Amino acid sequence: MCLSFASMACAVDAAAQSAAPQNAAPQNAAPQNAAPPRRGVVPRDALLHELASDVQIAPDGRQVVYVRQTVDSLRDRRTGALWLVKADGTGNRALTTGANDVAPRWSPDGTRILFRSDRDSTSQLWVVEVASGAVKRMSTVPRPPGGATWSPDGRQIAYTALVPEAMVSIASQVAPPAGATWAAPARAFDRLTYQQDGVGELERGWSQLFVLDVASGVARQLTRGAYHMGGGGGRGSGVPSWSPDGRTIYISANPRADFEIESGDTEVYAVDVASGAARALTDRRGPDNRPTASPNGEWIAFTGFDERHLGYQRQQLYVMRADGTQRRSLTPTVDRGMANPQWAADGRGVYVEYDSEGETLVGYVPLDGGALRVVARQLGNGQTSYEGGGFSVSRDGRVAFSSARGDLPGAVATSALGDSMPRLLVRMNQTLLARAALGRVEMFWTPSSRDGRRIQAWLITPPGYDAKKKYPLALEIHGGPFLSYGDRFDLEKQALAGAGYLVVYANPRGSTSYGEDFANLIHHTYPADDRLDLESVVDAVIARGIVDTTQLYVAGGSGGGVLTAWITSYTQRYRAAAVEYPVINWASWMFTADIPRTSKTWFPGAPWDNAAQYAARSPISRVQHVRTPTLVITGEADHRTPMSESEQWYGALRYQGVEATLVKVPGEPHGIRERPSHWLQKMAYVQGWFDRHRAGATP
């Protein structure tokens, strides 16, 4: 048993080599054509891991383009290329071979695909001809373009990009003497959110809307307001939507002076393409996002809600006339959050993405107010068991999306109304599956000891599982906290199962996909009773008689890191814990993280007005009760749960003599997946920490 990453990698290499077929078989060996024995998933399989993302179906429904992400082990990065497959699953082929080609979008006539690429070292817009494969650069812009969309006639492209402003200037810069080499100068900031996770320090400026002429390549800036066109505090997060006549672009924006505090209070804007004049079509407290025009131009569909400052509020699907009148919800009685609206070609309904009981689906909502109907199931990104997906729809109503299940590590799929299951066009990760056997994923429900509410959970059993044996059990806790797990392939959990652990994960109270009431059971109380839901799930697995109860372990990241620290302050049943990028002190986190607006939703107000509640809900207030050996791991570039939070927990544990190790991952933002080697190391450290504390192990 070892904690060091180097020894873990050596062990993985040996396992991979022992599983590889040999040139010659010894006497009495299995037949030459027999499949070699497969091991379980190991952390190093992160280097084999493929993803299918941003699946886009052609307007006529005959072809599907998707981003195929693979790992470049030599440069330690993920790369993306556009792949094309026919709707019957044949002809799967690479369309581009760029260093990182993403965000494909079909032209209205289906002959070209717009995409974004950094193949020339800067992020620019490109177009590839589907028939010939010829690639042409479309933009030459100083800042990365976002949300690019074709005009209805295919002659223009709308996108958002940052228009920079001068940095804050207080003191004049003193020039260094001739020949001197001075350190980098100081930098000044005067905005609440001046850094963002995954980005770092934010360049000063405003995200604006642009239109690019396809024939000439000339871009024209449409908007010039002192607010971010495309979202609240984001950088071009909105997606422009053209009117059918090409005269108007619809997009969300937050014009409030206090947009950094009320970042969710966005409105739908109509921008005149000729003049750039922008007019708000909505005016209410709460988000109004992802506007999209109907095929006849009469209606605008969008998502949003009336702000009540709850921890979680479901996004409803709305429609309104193109002038902003006659607004109404199409899903007033559907207790699930709606996202990513897309019109049917006949304009009689809208397709939406939503989550229900741990599953991501695509539904169809009629414009006349009929019931929500399921179109597609099993959406997933193929990387984690979190909800997710994204979809596109053709003129004939066929939906294309990335799909994943516990036993399916990623696929490109299509579905339509009336289909019971997705049609898989491309299965990802065949190399990984040839080497590694997956643990079986089983869903179950169990009552919570807190109040008897049914809690949904999943159990992964190791490859070669024997129900007559007893296994160590690892509890994995999701983040958010307003997110949800499901039956989706998860390499991290499969790697623990591959190491011989039972892995259980669940959606305790506070999780999404079960309605507003269930999510808001933790409103102004998180973390609290969600701990009892998770403990009840562990007890349910123990009751099967398959668990070595002296070998219990717990891990979680982000909000799951909060709950991992919280749980170990109440019980000593776990032999070891892995607290990953947590919040430990809500008061210190509130204004060092990149999302300060949670003081109005997760708490009743600012820390100085609610000091007792902030303290009582912070794991640091209970650290004196912790005895569990704890690994704390966080990326050094994490601005969502900054390193200072992890340092508090590690320091407090060590101060009182609790065994603890702090792992800092250089350059990594929240989640530790930016570099494949770092993701691999994260898995190896957690597994190594648990292995180190298994009964009989020698540290």
Report pLDDT digits (tens) over 497-556: 999 999 999 999 999 999 999 999 999 999 999 999 999 999 999 999 999 999 999 999
**Is residue 502 situated within a structural domain?**
yes
Domain of residue 682, residue span: 433-692
**Is residue 571 situated within a structural domain?**
yes
What is the spatial distance between Cα 512 and Cα 123, in angstroms, rounded to a whole number? 34
Contact 404, 411 (CB under 8 A): yes
In this predicted structure, the answer to whether residue 235 has a pLDDT above a threshold of 50 is no
pLDDT at 511: 96
Q: Using a cut of 0.95, tell me whether the model's pTM lies above it.
A: no
In this predicted structure, the answer to whether residue 24 has a pLDDT above a threshold of 50 is no
Average pLDDT over residues 304-330: 95
pLDDT at 6: 32
Q: Give the number of other CB atoms < 10 A from CB of residue 639.
A: 22
Residue 441 maps to which CATH number? 3.40.50.1820
What is the spatial distance between Cα 218 and Cα 214, in angstroms, rounded to a whole number? 8
Average pLDDT over residues 31-53: 80
**Is residue 453 situated within a structural domain?**
yes
**Is residue 271 situated within a structural domain?**
no
pLDDT at 36: 55
Please report how the helices 530-542 and 559-568 are oriented relative to each other, as an axis angle in degrees rounded to 10.
Answer: 70
Q: What token pair was written down for 71?
A: 């790992």
**Is residue 686 situated within a structural domain?**
yes
Average pLDDT over residues 195-216: 89
Residues 71-105: tens digit of each pLDDT:
999 999 999 999 999 999 999 999 998 678 999 99
For the CA atoms of 555, 558, 72, 436, the dihedral, rounded to the nearest 10 degrees, stands at: 30
Please count the structural domains in the chain: 1
What is the spatial distance between Cα 636 and Cα 581, in angstroms, rounded to a whole number? 10
In this predicted structure, the answer to whether residue 446 has a pLDDT above a threshold of 90 is yes
Q: What is the DSSP string of 247-273?
A: SEEEEEE---TTTTTSTT--EEEEEET
**Is residue 671 situated within a structural domain?**
yes
Give residue 179's identity as a one-letter amino acid code. G
Pick from 693, 635, 159, 92: nearest CA to 411: 92
In this predicted structure, the answer to whether residue 112 has a pLDDT above a threshold of 50 is yes
Contact 403, 412 (CB under 8 A): yes
What is the spatial distance between Cα 665 and Cα 608, in angstroms, rounded to a whole number? 33
Average pLDDT over residues 270-287: 95
